[in-house]
Amino acid sequence: MSSSLENITVVDLSRILAGPWASQMLADMGAEVIKIERPEKGDDTRYWGPPFIKPATQEQPPQAAYFHCANRNKQSIAIDITNEEGQKIIKALIAQADVLIENYKVGGLAKYGLDYQSVKAINPRLVYCSITGFGQNGPSAEKAGYDGMIQGEGGLMSLTGEPDGMPMKVGVALVDIMTGLYCSNAILAALMARHQSNEGQHVDIALLDVQVATLANQGMNYLATGTNPPRYGNEHPNIVPYQTFTTLDGSIILAVGNDEQFVKFCQLAQCATLAQDPRFATNEQRVNNRESLIPILANILASHKSQWWLNQLESIAVPCGPVNTLQDVFEHPQIKHREMIRKVTNQHGEEVDTIASPINLSQTPLQYHSASPDLGQHTFVVLSNKLNYSKAQINQLYQDGIIS
């Protein structure tokens, strides 16, 4: 069965998470992704552990679990980008490629002749995706950006955490991941546009822009009122009740999305009069009077165990759910049924777990054919098969330290 992007080649000059997340999505869809890494050291995230999938050896750096979350289905070649011969190799690969992804500082690749204007002359059909903290222009363009600092600077931390507590970042690198998603979407759009124009283009994606764009309802709440939204902890700023509640033996999430669901909840909880109370009859009134309503509901929900509430609420179609640990998540029968954990094989024939993509295509299903590569695992094969380097030429490059 064919893949959606089986004829697309991606040169991946990105590191850490946002760029590799985007290129992994393209690789899952069938693109050939050639990940270019530094000789000997490779991508920084190979070292971001413990935990490690594989420890360091004399020949290889370690492979952190972090690295494996974003680098399956790729080929790794290790090239010294600062060396003129290394740049020649990369340019030869770019000449054959459809997409290039990079996350260097603005202008950082120009000294190697690998900036967009330079490589556009080599391959006018190339879609060139640049990922930076703050974008290719503007007063902050020269600044480096990392997920945690962007969560703060972009306003997400001001919305996250308990009302009287410290601003909090999200427990995963959400800005990087969302940036990767926007990048893959933009790249696919540019590839579609190329069908009409026969030309590539420069895709400029900034972490700060992504964070601001994904403020979503909270961003619009501010634009509508001019007032900074407060932190609500696990409560929802625009829907009540929509939050975690403590039960007799744990916690659940109650997610009442409309007035009809609130009526059904109140009938189940034997507090039907609350649904007729003018302070709580509509969502608008419940939002305005949350400080009065939430303590009442908290007392009611504390009267039964979590599973009792989950069973009863699900039986009357009132949205709710448990607060699961990751062990609970990966044992979840729905997660198992949806095959969200897959096995991929590394170059040593060992099986490694990977978390699947949520994308399911009926005619061109995603692929899970290989684990994240060892550093330089495919250097010889790529130079030999794609660029027609002889064995003697490749061995000389190894001896000169240009590749590894």
Hey, which residues are catalytic here? 176
Q: Tell which residue, 22, 19, 44, 78, has the closest CA to residue 402.
A: 78
Q: Determine the 3-state secondary structure of 300 from DSSP.
A: helix
Check if the beta carbon of residue 121 is closer than 8 Å to that of residue 95.
no
Distance (Å, whole) CA 199 – CA 60: 39
Check if the beta carbon of residue 372 is closer than 8 Å to that of residue 61.
no
Question: What are the distances in angstroms from CA 348 to CA 297, 344, 371, 372, 373?
Answer: 56, 11, 10, 12, 10
Q: Which letter does DSSP use for residue 112 in this model?
A: G
What are 63's strand-pairing partners? 54
Within 13 Å of residue 233, how many CA atoms lie on the same side as its CB? 8
Distance (Å, whole) CA 260 – CA 281: 10
What are 239's strand-pairing partners? none
What are 76's strand-pairing partners? 35
CA angle (181 as vertex; 178, 184 as ends), nearest 5:
150
DSSP tally for the chain: helices H, then strands E: 18, 13
Check if the beta carbon of residue 101 is closer than 8 Å to that of residue 10.
yes
